[in-house]
Amino acid sequence: MKNKAIKSLGVLTVASLISTSALAQVTVSGYVEAGFMTGSTKGTLGHVNSKNLGGETVVTIAGKGKLANGWEYSAYQNFDSDDASDGRTTTTNYTNANPLSTRAIVLSPSPMFSLFYTFDGVYGGEIARTAVPTVTELVGDLTGVASISEFIDVTSGHHAVGFDVNNLGPNGRLSVAYNPTLDARPHSSSDRASPSAKTASGYSIGYSVSPGPVTIRAGVTKIDQTQSTTAQDATSKTLGATFTQAPFAIGVQRTKNDGTKATLATTSNIEDQVDTAAISFAATKEVTIGATYSEMERSGAAVTAPGPDLKVTQLVVAYNLGPVVISGAYEDAQNKATATGTVSGLDATTTKIKVKANF
């Protein structure tokens, strides 16, 4: 009975996205994960990194098929128990929490070209967000304690439209995304006017290409803060490369941010440069080991007394049991960043154990 209910929910969800097409295939997938973290902090500005047990569930319902004109289409919707903020925390007209998270509609007139709408999907510059090998999670997501900046995009936690060009170079992908209103939230309706004035819009472009064992990713984002003449526009650029030769993968990446996705006055502007090097090693068919080292230099109008660079070291071991993955991670963040710069001696160490079951 439960499986029938889930399948019925899937059909109704995807049918609401593409109501004029016959569904050729509907799938239901997802995962449930549980994690435990503990650690310590140093420095007068540090918070207590106490023991924490939590979990997250994601259910993805997807459909794909052919349209009446011969085009291919696909659509999916995630139901996510996580309600993390999306980078526009200065806006109070909407709430961030909503179980209907990542979603997309993709229309493809040919294998080389597609048009998309997405909320929180990996499109535009976000395809270059992480150009280095990772094990289990991205650098900024591993614990959420490091305070390290990442490439700014216009799709994470936001609605956007755009297009992809595939096979542009060896296994190449060019993705362009445009977001006219960065303040729209997950539950924003397509047939309702926004109750607040537009405060920001932007575009993001990403390119990925794999000539042989090397994969190169590049991205650029421009955000126009239209709230006032004193608001700081944001620019983000990233470039990275990974060399893969089983059982190793090694990569480097540099990201430069001038401004933030959230609205800041020009006098409060921050500029970040993040350099990351990472390596992963498949020790056996079941065990993968990863190590990442990142440094971030913070400068800008708001940084009155620049401190030493933020330095983040991460070690991860993952044990793959098929549908279940068990991982252990250790993170050491030194000279953590605040709005006015990095702070010497503001350190944090975190240990994390996670179990993730896919279905």
State whether CATH 2.40.160.10 applies to domain 2-358.
yes
CA-nearest of 32, 34, 83, 85 to 60 is 32
Name the strand (E) or helix (H) holding 13. Answer: helix 2-17
Cα 241-244-245 angle, rounded to 5 deg: 150
What gap in Å lies between CA 337 and CA 345, rounded to an integer? 11
Give the global pTM: 0.86
| Per-residue confidence in pLDDT tens, the chain, 359 aa | 444 444 444 444 444 444 444 556 899 999 999 999 998 888 765 555 678 899 999 999 999 999 999 999 999 999 998 755 555 544 444 445 567 889 999 999 999 999 999 999 999 999 999 999 999 998 988 888 889 999 999 999 899 999 999 999 999 999 999 999 888 777 777 877 766 667 889 999 999 999 999 999 999 999 998 877 788 999 999 999 999 999 999 999 999 999 998 888 899 999 999 999 999 999 999 999 999 999 999 999 999 878 899 999 999 999 999 999 999 999 999 999 988 899 998 999 999 999 999 99
What gap in Å lies between CA 172 and CA 207, rounded to an integer? 7
CB crowding 36-72: b at 16 or more within 10 Å, else e: ebebebeeeeeeebeeeeeebebbbbbbbbeeeeeeb
Task: Name the token pair of 348.
Answer: 């944090």
Task: Name the token pair of 69.
Answer: 């004109």
Backbone angle region of 124, left / alpha / beta, with phi > 0 → left and psi within -120 to 50 → alpha: left
pLDDT at position 17: 45
